[in-house]
Every structure is written in C-alpha cells, then in structure tokens.
C-alpha cells in the first residue's frame, strides 16, 4: 500500500484478499456503481471497498502519481503564480468540515505559492458559482493558476468548464486538484426526497440560512442530472481527484457515519455523499486514500500526503485527463505497493 496512516492486520488481510481476487470484470474501469454494488452484495461491503482501492492503484498513471506524491521529490519546475481555492458547501457556516479550504491554504504556503479564496456562494447554485469562478479567473489574466477545490467546489468547477467562456477563462489554469469532489452529484439528495419530513426540514433550514433548495436539487445523482456528464476538458489541464476510501471502522468525522450508513445499501462510499463506484468514470488521475473518509481528517496526520499530492500535481509538465479506461494496464502488476 502506498503511504497512508496506520494499517491494521485486518486491513492488510483484506487488501491481500482483494489483490488475489480473480473475479470477472475486476479492473478499475469495470468497477462502476452497479458492478461495485453487486460485488458488495456477494463479497461484502468492506471487500468491495478494498477491491476498488487495489484496482485504482493498478492503473499505471494513478500508481506512478501516488508514488511521486508519497516520495515528495523536490523539483525545479515552475510553481504556479497563484493557487485559487474553491471552497465546499456551507464553508461560511461549517468550517469544521474543512470546506473553508484552510488546509489548502496551508499546503500552498508550505509549497511557496500565493493562494486566494475564490468567493463563491456558500451554498450557491451550480450556474451561479460557475459564473463566479469564471469571473475570478478572468480577473487574473496572464497568471499561471492552479485550482484546488473542496467537495461541492468540484461540482462548481465542473460546471464552469462546461461554459462557452471556459476555453478563454481556463487558458492559464494548468492544474485542478479536487479534494473529495462531489463532481457526479450525490444519492443523498434522493435519500432525503424519499423521507418527506427530512426533506421539508432541510428546506426550512436552507431557507432560514438564506439558501435556495434548487442548489441542493442540482446535486442529484444519476443519468439526466446536471452533473451526469463531463465537458471536454482543455488539453493542457491536469486533473487530480483525491478520494477517501474508508471502511466503517475508519470513519473519523462526526458526520461521516450518518452519510456512510445512508449510502451503504448502494455500495462503497466515502461517508460524505460520494459513491465510490463513480470514481471509475472520472477523467484524470485518481488518488485513493485508504482509511480516510470524505472530510480528509483522520486521526493520523494526513497533511504530508495531501501536500505531496498537490506538489506532484503542480510539478508535472504533462497534463493527464484521459479516461480511466484509456489508462488501464494491459497486464496488471502482480502485487500492490506496500508502505
């Protein structure tokens, strides 16, 4: 396993079993939502989670990138002129979730980069926040920019990339690092819809805080929803998705257990609204963090690894946004990397 926090004997045994498993359709590209849920039903939720983690790291581009991040090699390559931090949902109201981007600012500071908050709505609609992101990019002409997004901030950037203005606005954006990005939406919206009392309670809370319910509805998951498909990405843009891969026993944030149990019937998830089966459809590099939930704040110090990931992203000269299916190895490696 590539460097992470403490790994128990139970974790090691589970990951070894996943490495040795020879079930059908078990490469990363095949482990979408439906197939991963089937494996969870037959082999257990923990095993399906471990299998996904193992197969993500069998993709050479993912494995090589994570090894580079883990080693934190120094580089003479140019740093960005500016890091734009796109915060997550309710970043003004709930800073304890990490949505305010405090760790992203700390990482930028450690790497010697100037950083600035992209002031999107605290729970703004996709179009509203996408427009604010485009305006922010256009207000920094000629500067080499790296974007770091948190949770819902990833969906806002995805929407901005679909704009007719994207080609010009993103011309100088060379890296986008998405931490726990809700870029495919979340089934938690439908979970709420199926429970009228909770749905109306959520409407009341959003109204009281000055937010629109439509912003929540835009985060629906599945075909035909605003986040179902990806726009064509700029050829120069390197996209890196940082995703927690937890088991129940790994959940650390007070909110993670509730989110995890609500989505567990659908398959492995990160405890914050992301179905891990969606990772197979993401364009770009996927960085799986074993034993870490959506909020990226485990009991051990994850900051060195997050810093290494951002450092590896900004130090690379080559963009990488090919689909995961295009990056599958023809012959999987015999064993996984171990810490």
User: 5-9: which pairs have CB atoms within 8 A and are 24 or more residues apart?
Assistant: 5/291, 5/292, 5/298, 5/299, 5/300, 5/301, 5/302, 6/291, 6/300, 7/290, 7/291, 7/339
For residue range 167-212, list pLDDT tens digits in order.
999 999 999 999 999 999 999 999 999 999 999 999 999 999 888 9
Q: Is residue 92 a contact partner of residue 150, using CB atoms and an 8 Å limit?
A: no
**pLDDT for 71:** 81
pLDDT for 78: 65
For residue 73, the model assigns a pLDDT of 52
- Cβ within 8 Å of residue 7, ≥6 positions away: 1, 290, 291, 339
Q: Do 173 and 237 meet the contact criterion of CB atoms below 8 Å apart?
A: yes
Nearest residue to 164 (alpha-carbon basis) of 126, 119, 131: 131
Q: What is the pLDDT of residue 139?
A: 95
Q: What is the pLDDT of residue 227?
A: 96
Confidence (pTM):
0.90
Domains along the chain with CATH numbers: 34-184+235-320 (3.40.50.1820)
Q: Which residue positions in the chain have pLDDT lower than 50? A: 75-76, 321-339
Q: What is the pLDDT of residues 256-275, one digit of tens each?
A: 999 999 999 999 999 999 99
Count CA atoms within 13 Å of residue 20 on its CB side: 6
Q: Which residues pair with 86 in a beta bridge?
A: 149
C-alpha angle 313-319-320 in degrees, rounded to nearest 5: 90
């Amino acid at each position: 396993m590539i460097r992470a926090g403490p790994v128990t004997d139970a974790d090691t045994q589970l990951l070894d079993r996943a490495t040795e498993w020879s079930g059908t359709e078990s490469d990363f590209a095949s482990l979408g939502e439906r197939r991963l849920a089937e494996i969870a039903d037959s082999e257990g939720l923990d095993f399906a989670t471990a299998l996904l983690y193992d197969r993500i790291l069998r993709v050479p581009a993912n494995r090589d990138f994570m090894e580079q991040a883990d080693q934190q090699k120094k580089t003479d390559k140019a740093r960005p002129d500016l890091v734009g931090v796109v915060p997550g949902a309710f970043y003004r109201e709930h800073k304890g979730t990490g949505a305010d981007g405090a760790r992203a600012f700390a990482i930028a500071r450690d790497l010697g980069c100037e950083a600035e908050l992209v002031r999107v709505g605290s729970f703004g609609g996709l179009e509203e926040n996408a427009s604010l992101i485009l305006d922010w990019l256009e207000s920094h002409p000629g500067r080499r920019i790296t974007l770091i997004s948190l949770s819902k901030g990833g969906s806002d950037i995805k929407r901005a990339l679909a704009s007719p203005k994207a080609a010009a606005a993103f011309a100088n954006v060379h890296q986008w690092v998405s931490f726990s990005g809700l870029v495919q939406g979340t089934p938690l919206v439908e979970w709420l819809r199926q429970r009228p009392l909770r749905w109306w309670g959520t409407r009341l809370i959003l109204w009281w805080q000055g937010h629109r319910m439509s912003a929540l509805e835009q985060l629906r998951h599945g075909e035909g929803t605003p986040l179902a498909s990806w726009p064509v990405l700029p050829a120069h843009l390197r996209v890196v998705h940082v995703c927690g891969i937890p088991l129940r026993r790994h959940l650390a944030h007070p909110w993670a257990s509730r989110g995890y149990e609500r989505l567990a019937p659908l398959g492995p998830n990160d405890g914050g609204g992301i179905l891990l089966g969606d990772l197979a459809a993401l364009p770009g590099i996927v960085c799986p963090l074993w034993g870490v939930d959506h909020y990226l704040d485990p009991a051990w110090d994850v900051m060195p690894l997050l810093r290494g990931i951002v450092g590896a992203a900004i130090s690379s000269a080559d963009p990488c946004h090919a689909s995961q299916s295009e990056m599958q190895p023809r012959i999987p490696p015999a064993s996984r990397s171990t810490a």
